[in-house]
Homo-oligomer: A and B are copies of this chain.
Amino acid sequence: MKLQDYIDHLDKLAFENMYGSDFFLTWEKSDDEIAATFLVADALRHLRQSNTSTRIFDSGLAISQFRDNSTRTRFSFASACNMLGLEVQDLDEEKSQIAHGETIRETSNMISFMADVIGIRDDMYIGKGNEYMRMVADAVQEGWEDGLLEQRPSLINLQCDIDHPTQCMADMLHIIHHFGGTKNLKGKKLAMSWAYSPSYGKPLSVPQGVIGLMTRMGMDVVLAHPEGYEVMANVEDVAIRNSKASGGSFQKTSSMKEAFSGADIVYPKSWAPYAAMEERTLLYEKRDFEGIGELEKSLLAKNAVHKDWECTEDMMALTRDKSALYMHCLPADISGVSCVQGEVASSVFDRYRIPLYKQAGYKPYIIAAMIFLSKIKDPQKTLLTMRDRKLKRFFD
C-alpha cells in the first residue's frame, strides 16, 4: 500500500472527536475511531519503514507512570514518543514528593507544564486504576481550562484494572493483518480462554480488553474459564452489545475444549478471579496482610485444580485445520521453560514465536497512532506533509 491508500481510507471515516481526547477504554471509541487508529498506526509504520521522519514535535515531554512492572509497554511507549519527537520523563513515585500527601490534582498539574502526553499503567487494584487515570485527566483538563497549562496533555491508558487498550488494539491489528483485512474476520471464531499458571493474581485487563474489542468485528468470540474465574460483568455486557451490533456472537463456556473446537484464533492466558481481586483490594485498603496471605493461599489451591487448562498440542489439534492463530500478550508461562507447568506447551509456543513477536511489534505504532490522533487536527494532511517534507529518520 502507498501512503495515499491509508489517506483514502481515512477520508471515509468520522474520527474528528479523537482530536484532543484521551484513550481510556476501546468501547468508548466509535468503530470509525478504532478503524482510524489502525490506519494511522499502519501509515506511521509505512513512513518509518521508508526511512521518513515521523516527528511532529521539535521538543516536548511525555510523562510515563508505571505503577507496576513493565518491559513491553514501557519500551513501546518510549518508542512511540520518540518517533513523534517527545522525550519520556518517568514519574517515579519513590523519588518524588508524592509521599508527602500531595493530591493527585496537584501532582498532575505540576508534572504537566510542558507535557504533551501522559501514559499510565495502574492495573493492580480493582476499581482503582481506571479511576486514577480519569482523576489525572480531569486534573489536567481543569489546569488547562484555568490557563495553568499551555497544552492539554493527552492521557493514554497503558493498562488499568478494566482494559488494556494498547495491548488489545495491537492484538487486533495483528489479527487484521494475519487474515488479510477486517473484511475477512466475519464469522471467524476467537477463543479467549483462561489458562493455568503457577502464579495467581494476573490482571483481568487483557481478557476483558479482548472481549470488549474483538466482538466488534463480526467474529464469534467465546470466553472460556473454570467456574469462579469470572471477569467484570459490565465488560461482558459490552461484549454482548458489541457482538449484536457487529453481527457476530459472544458466548461463554467453562470448557477449554469447547472454546478451542474449530477456533480460528486462540488466546489462552491466566487471570485472577474478579471477585478475589476485589477482595484483595479491600484487604489492601485495610492493610490486612494476614488476610491477603490467606487469600493468596486459597487462590493458589483453587488454581492448582485447573492444571489441565493448558494450551497443549492436543488442544491446538481441536482448532480449525489444527492451526488456529495462537496469541498471547507475553510473557507467557511456558511449561518446561519458565515454569514446570503453565499456560502453554513449549512446542506450541515455539511454533508461534514469530507471529507472537509480530503481535507485540504493533504496540509502539498503536500508541503512536493514539497520540497522533489526539494531537493532530487534520491527520491526513499531516501524514502527507510528513511524506513530502523529505526529512529522513536515519541520515546515512
Contact (Cβ within 8 A) B392 A354: no
Mark contacts of A49-92 with chain B using CB atoms, 8 A cut-off: 1 yes-contact digit, 0 otherwise.
10001111111110100100111101110110011010111010
CB distance from A329 to the nearest CB of B (A): 11
**A78-B115 Cα distance, complex, nearest whole Å:** 10
CB distance from A147 to the nearest CB of B (A): 8
**A239-B377 Cα distance, complex, nearest whole Å:** 52
Copies of this chain assembled into the complex: 3
**A150-B364 Cα distance, complex, nearest whole Å:** 12
**A110-B49 Cα distance, complex, nearest whole Å:** 18
**A147-B101 Cα distance, complex, nearest whole Å:** 48
The interface-forming segment of A221-229, A315-323, A355-363 is A355-363
**A333-B57 Cα distance, complex, nearest whole Å:** 37
Given A106-B331, A331-B97: A57 touches B395 (CB 8 Å cut-off): yes
Size of the A side of the interface (Cβ < 8 Å), in residues, is: 77
Across-interface contacts of A98 in B (CB, < 8 A): 71
In the complex, 21 of the A-B residue pairs with CB atoms within 8 angstroms, ordered by the A residue number, are A48-B150, A53-B59, A56-B395, A58-B393, A58-B394, A59-B83, A59-B85, A60-B393, A66-B95, A71-B96, A71-B110, A75-B111, A78-B89, A88-B89, A100-B338, A102-B330, A106-B357, A109-B360, A113-B360, A149-B361, A382-B396
Contact (Cβ within 8 A) A101 B54: no
Contact (Cβ within 8 A) B114 A364: yes
Across-interface contacts of A85 in B (CB, < 8 A): 59
Is A376 in contact with chain B by the CB < 8 A criterion? yes
CB distance from A267 to the nearest CB of B (A): 18
- Chain B residue at minimal CB-CB distance from A360: B110
**A313-B150 Cα distance, complex, nearest whole Å:** 32
Q: Specify which of A55, A82, A83 lies most central, judged by the most chain B CB atoms within 10 Å of its CB.
A: A82
**A376 CB contact (under 8 Å) in B106, B333, B354, B396:** B396
Contact (Cβ within 8 A) A361 B148: yes
- Chain B residue at minimal CB-CB distance from A52: B58
Q: Specify which of A66, A95, A116 lies most central, judged by the most chain B CB atoms within 10 Å of its CB.
A: A95
